[in-house]
Amino acid sequence: MGEKCIQLLHFSVVLLVFCGNTPVLGVSLEAKIRCMEREKQALLQFKETVVDADGVLSSWGSEEDKRDCCKWRGVRCNNRTGHVTKIDLSSSYMTGKIRPSLLELQHLKYLNLDGNDFGGGNQIPVFIASFSRLQYLDLRGNSFYGPIPHQLGNLSNLRYLDLRWNQLDGGNIEWLSHLSLLRHLDLSYVNLSQSTNWAETINSLPLLKSLRLRGCQLPNVVPFNSSLSLKFLNLAGNNLSSSIYSVLFNSSNNLVDVDLSSNQLKGLIPDSFGNMISLVNLDLSWNQLEGGIPNSFSNLTHLQTLFLQYNSLTEELPEFLEGNSLQVLNLEGNKLSGAIPESIRQCSSLIKLFLGNNILNGTVTKSIGRLPKLQVLDLSSNRFTGHVPRVPSNVTLLYLSKNMFSGSISLICTSVGVQLRYLELSNNQLSGELPDCWDMFEFLSVINLANNNFSGKLPNSMGSLNNLQALQLRNNSFHGELPPSLKNCENVRFIDLGRNRFTGKIQAWIGMHLTSLDVLSLRSNNFYGGIPENICHLNHIQVLDFSQNDLFGELPKCFNNFSSLVQKDGSKAPYRLWYKEYNSLYTIGHVYKGNALVQWKGEEREYTNTLPQLKIIDLSSNNFHGKIPKQVATLAQLVSLNLSRNNLTGQIIQEIGQMKMLESLDLSGNRFSSEIPTSLARLNYLSMLDLSNNNLSGKIPSSTQLQSFNASTYSGNPQLCGLPLPNKCPGEEIVVKPHSNDTRSQEEEEEEEDRFITPWFYISMGFGFTVGFVVVFGTILFSSSSRHTYFQFLDGIHNWLYVTTALNIARLHRRL
């Protein structure tokens, strides 16, 4: 067979000599290469057993025009022998089993099945170990399960091995030591907890350049010798202790990229880092490192990204020397103190600076405003004082919340440029009126000014913010009517104007134009008048809070239009979160947590993480009258309904039993009459009920639940009788049951909060996460070339999403 090919080749060379490259004949070397019939059949058999929903293999077939398998998508042959040497089916989203028939491809050097599902929860097929010429093997993200066949050690030509993102049990990985040509090894998320000799194994790979063992549950053994060839090292998420790195860095001035994040590294950061002069990226975040940032870091002139966030670092920030290359510096979540040194201006390459969550103080140096490339500035949760600093004009994300900044923010009109997307100034002591320059910020998507002392009216120019998604102004002293121009902010999803002195009617344009709203809180203002019917057009709404205003009139009869609160399958309309950029140039992340102050089981609380689950209608403390409209009962997803302290009358609707998810129901302080509907007893999740101070009568229906509430739930209804009330119903003998005290211990309250955060919550959090990601960085998700960026992102946030969740999201993503 091979001989024939050579003849063929010879023939075409002759042809070429005589005919040149004439397109008429169309003969070229390439065109004459035909694959081996047996190899072709093997590929066709492979195709038979896979499910190829996207038709990636449509060029594979036995038809006449497809007969050269070397031209099939993802297949490459040796151009002399015609043997198949390369199969690249990465990111094809195929499922099914790999058949041993593939073994026919004995000349295979390159096999890439990344991003399919050929594992289906089964083991890696042993026959893969028989591709004796294989140099490149990538099986990542295929849901392979169980032990890795040690026969893979037979693949002695292997240079590249990637098995990450499966559910593999590494067992003993000694077989790896036979792969002496290996340059790139990635076993991230393979369970290596039993591989006590992993370090020796790795040491025996002299050519290894890149080692990634992220999230492998590595046993904490004597550290390994960093081979001189190693450039990329990732041992993140392994619970390793400090002894690892103290040795690692003796001989390692070739290391370019080191990630030891999310381990148990303790003590000081060794000075010896200063010897690693080739370092470009260093990540020691999420450990327990102490002390200051060593001066020896100033030696690292190539360092572009430095991540030390979430350690216990103390002392002041180091001085920055001229000529550094830093692009991303993340020191968030430490105990760094003092002021930002003026020498920060030496970091002229800086793009992202995260100093949040420390105890930095003083006024922010003017040098910050002179970092020409700065796009992300996070100084939140520190003790900075003085005015909001002038920031570089290219800043897109500005986080200054939770400090002691004071005075007006009119500077933003002249300092910040058109790129601004996030403006987070909450929890400061800012005051004065808002400037009227919002029309400059066409990309602005989040404004959070909550918990300051701003006053005045909302400026008209806010209506130019077409991209606004969140507007949080809670707890200031704003007053006046909402500017009608706000109706142009049609993408807004989150409005919290609570605890101000806004006034005027709830305008019809809210329901007509702001139909993307998830959260609308007008709580505790001076709004008056009725609720317009078209408020029910807000069919994404999950939190609707109009409590503590001067609203009156009847409740609208259209609540059944709140489709996100009605639909049975809640997952169809998950609450959407926003995520802010984070970390390095290639990872993204950092949550924007839309938080809301809501009344939950009788208490005002600020909810952040749990918000996705909160589906609340709160119209309490107004002056609504009339009956509860029947349509309310269609809100099958509603978790909390509060209509207390109004002037509502009539019966509590019998249909209330349909609101199956209800956990909290407060109808107290109205004039409801007649009997309590028996269907109330069917609300299995109900754990807070208040019907007090109405005109209810008759016997409290019997159910374990309704009798388990305190008597205070029913008090102030003179004609109500039966347990747990002390007054017995006519003709009934009653034993008064002693009930527990009203004041609950703190423990009980915490328990309650915990109960709220169920495993179900974490799952949906993961889901909301993905969805939020789609919203903000949608292009990344759906372009397969950027898929790895997405996984890098997953890696980056693995600290708060456990591996399994990440895997689930990865899988979910693949199905999207």
Ligand X SMILES: *[C@@H]1O[C@H](CO)[C@@H](O)[C@H](O)[C@H]1NC(C)=O
Distance CA 601, CA 13 (A): 85
Q: Which residue has the tokens 């707890």?
A: 475
Report 345-384 residues binding ligand X (CB under 6 A).
361-362, 372-373
Distance CA 254, CA 358 (A): 33
**Long-range contact pairs involving 749-753 (C-beta distance under 8 Å, separation at least 24):** 752/601, 752/687
The answer to whether 199 contacts ligand X (rule: CB under 6 A) is yes
Distance CA 641, CA 654 (A): 15
Binding mask 264-283 for ligand X (x = CB under 6 A): x------x--x--x------
612 in Cβ contact with 577 (< 8 Å): yes
Distances (CA, A) of 107 to 86, 150, 180: 9, 21, 20
Q: Report the nearest approach of ligand X to the CB of residue 732 (Å).
A: 26
Q: Report the nearest approach of ligand X to the CB of residue 127 (Å).
A: 7
565 in Cβ contact with 542 (< 8 Å): yes
Decide whether 455 or 789 has the Cβ nearer to ligand X.
Answer: 455
Decide whether 300 or 611 has the Cβ nearer to ligand X.
Answer: 300
The answer to whether 314 contacts ligand X (rule: CB under 6 A) is no
The answer to whether 228 contacts ligand X (rule: CB under 6 A) is no
| Among 91, 154, 382, 694, contact with ligand X (rule: CB under 6 A) | 154
The answer to whether 467 contacts ligand X (rule: CB under 6 A) is no
Q: Name the DSSP class of 191.
A: B
Stretch that binds ligand X, among 39-47, 291-299, 462-470, 695-703 (CB under 6 A): 291-299
SS3 for 576-643 is CCEECCCCCCCCCCCEECCCEEEEECCEEEEECCCHHHCCEEECCCCEEEECCCHHHHHCCCCCEEEC
**Termini Cα distance of the chain:** 45
Stretch that binds ligand X, among 47-55, 60-68, 216-224, 525-533 (CB under 6 A): 216-224
Distance CA 233, CA 257 (A): 6
Closest CB to ligand X: residue number: 274
Q: Report the nearest approach of ligand X to the CB of residue 128 (Å).
A: 8
The answer to whether 647 contacts ligand X (rule: CB under 6 A) is yes
The answer to whether 126 contacts ligand X (rule: CB under 6 A) is yes
Q: Which residue has the tokens 């009869």?
A: 557
The answer to whether 636 contacts ligand X (rule: CB under 6 A) is no
Tokens describing residue 313: 């670092």
Tokens describing residue 690: 């208040």
| Among 224, 320, 582, 672, contact with ligand X (rule: CB under 6 A) | 224
| Among 52, 68, 200, 752, contact with ligand X (rule: CB under 6 A) | 200
616 in Cβ contact with 639 (< 8 Å): yes
Decide whether 403 or 521 has the Cβ nearer to ligand X.
Answer: 403
| Among 16, 181, 247, 591, contact with ligand X (rule: CB under 6 A) | 247
Tokens describing residue 747: 């423990």
Decide whether 610 or 623 has the Cβ nearer to ligand X.
Answer: 623
Q: Report the nearest approach of ligand X to the CB of residue 789 (Å).
A: 20
Decide whether 191 or 805 has the Cβ nearer to ligand X.
Answer: 191
Distances (CA, A) of 223 to 7, 246, 311: 56, 9, 22
Decide whether 487 or 625 has the Cβ nearer to ligand X.
Answer: 625
Report 568-627 residues binding ligand X (CB under 6 A).
623, 625
Distance CA 645, CA 694 (A): 10
**CA dihedral of 621, 622, 625, 629, whole degrees rounded to 10:** -80
353 in Cβ contact with 326 (< 8 Å): no
Report 726-785 residues binding ligand X (CB under 6 A).
740-741
Give SS3 for 616. strand
Total residues in contact with ligand X, by rule CB under 6 A: 46
Decide whether 167 or 567 has the Cβ nearer to ligand X.
Answer: 167
Distance CA 513, CA 530 (A): 18
Stretch that binds ligand X, among 109-117, 191-199, 593-601, 685-693 (CB under 6 A): 191-199
Q: Report the nearest approach of ligand X to the CB of residue 597 (Å).
A: 18
| Among 106, 193, 467, 708, contact with ligand X (rule: CB under 6 A) | 193
523 in Cβ contact with 545 (< 8 Å): yes
Q: Nearest Cα to 611, choosing from 597, 621, 601, 591? A: 597
Q: Report the nearest approach of ligand X to the CB of residue 55 (Å).
A: 28
223 in Cβ contact with 248 (< 8 Å): yes
Residues in the site for ligand X, rule: CB under 6 A?
Answer: 29, 79, 126, 129-130, 151, 154, 169, 191, 193-194, 199-200, 203, 217, 222, 224-225, 239, 241, 247, 250, 264, 271, 274, 277, 295-296, 299, 337-338, 361-362, 372-373, 394, 429, 431, 453, 455, 477, 623, 625, 647, 740-741
